[in-house]
Amino acid sequence: MASFEVQPVTGVIGAEIRGVDPSQPLDRSTVADLRAAWLEHLVLFFRDVDVTPDQQVAFARRFGEIQVPHLRTAHGGPPEINVLDQTHPKGDGADTWHNDSTYAPCPPMGSVLRVVQLPAVGGDTCFANMHAAYETLSPGLRRRIDELEAVHDIVPQIVVALERGHTTMSAEEARAQFPLVRHPVVRIHPETGRKALFVNCNHTIHIADVPRAESDALLGLLYEHVKSPELQCRFRWDAHSLVLLDNRACQHYAVPDYRERRILHRVTMQGDRPYGPAHAATAATAATAAAAAAPATEGHDGRSGAPTPALAARG
């Protein structure tokens, strides 16, 4: 029985957590219960909390190893924190449905988000459940995309970031650091085993090994499907809120409806290499073997014993 209240905000995604202060040390049982709620609802909202940058990093570390930003913005901040500083957000790239950093071989597991400056009006963030996105496709389409992989690319977003002054990394430097990578169109969540749609219009450039026209048509259909309101929730930020996001099975969209400065601090946790239905059995066998061989340690869920499934599945 959790020692805090979990209040769902929609029938498919998001829950508000009441009775937990992320700025304070948390016991093992509370962290384990929070993780269970996170896996169920994919994004957790904490209100009426005051969290410093160091406390934000410490809270994120309770759920996974910290991932130093793959691509730092030009706006400064501590090494673990990526500072997103925007005044004219339309077209910056956050105003599309996306998972973060899928151009990396191991995209982030999740993020802890905190707004430190808000416009007077606007600046909400929307979230969408990619388990539900997959499950509401037709059976025939699900069978088709279960077998597919897609190519993800950092360069399109680097070009935009350079144009807007958000980075100093050139497209050539970005390509050298992050070559094109293939991920399954449908990934298996490494902790729950559920299938999730795993393509997004920021980083996915085409479906592998199919004609380009077919790829464009299929991706277009999937991108439109993700926009369905029944898959989503919308969060209105304030100066005393914190968000915990599962990047493996949740996409987000920053609403670009403001013209005043908005500053967000993001801390990300290291993720695993995505695998799809075709490789699920192999990944499960490897995870079981790793768990059996591991010494008794304390996992990120705060319990002693073998590593959590997420840690065991990382390669």
**Which domains are delineated in the chain?**
5-276 (3.60.130.10)
Is 98 in the active site? Answer: yes
Which one of the listed residues 252, 262, 300, 314 is annotated catalytic? 252
| Candidate list 35, 62, 70, 98, residue with the active-site label | 98
Selected catalytic residue, list 85, 92, 100, 246 = 100
What single-letter amino acid sits at 150?
Answer: A
Amino acid identity for residue 245 in this structure:
L
Residue pair 112/246 in contact by the 8 Å Cβ criterion:
no
pLDDT (tens digit per residue) in 212-222:
999 999 999 99
- Residue pair 181/160 in contact (Cβ under 8 Å)? The answer is no
Integer-rounded Cα Rg, in Å, for the chain is: 19
Please check the confidence at residue 308 and state whether its pLDDT lies above 90. no
Q: Which whole number is the average pLDDT over 5-21?
A: 98
DSSP β-ladder status, 149-152 and 181-184? antiparallel
- Of residues 131, 248, 266, 314, which has the active-site annotation? 266
pLDDT at 285: 61
Q: Catalytic annotation on 88?
A: no
Contacts of 108 (CB under 8 A, 6+ apart): 67, 100, 101, 247, 268, 269, 270, 271
- Assigned token pair, 167: 């980075």
Looking at residue 78, what is its pLDDT? Answer: 78
Query: Is 183 annotated as catalytic?
Result: no
Q: What is the dihedral of CA 202, 44, 315, 289, to 10 degrees?
A: -150
Give the model's pLDDT for residue 281.
Answer: 67
How confident is the model over 256-297, as pLDDT tens digits? 999 999 999 999 999 999 999 988 766 666 555 555 554 443
pTM of the full predicted structure? 0.88
The span from the first CA to the last CA of the chain, in angstroms, equals 33
**DSSP character for 167?**
-
Q: What is the pLDDT of residue 304?
A: 32
Instruction: Check if 252 is active-site.
Output: yes
Looking at residue 133, what is its pLDDT? 98
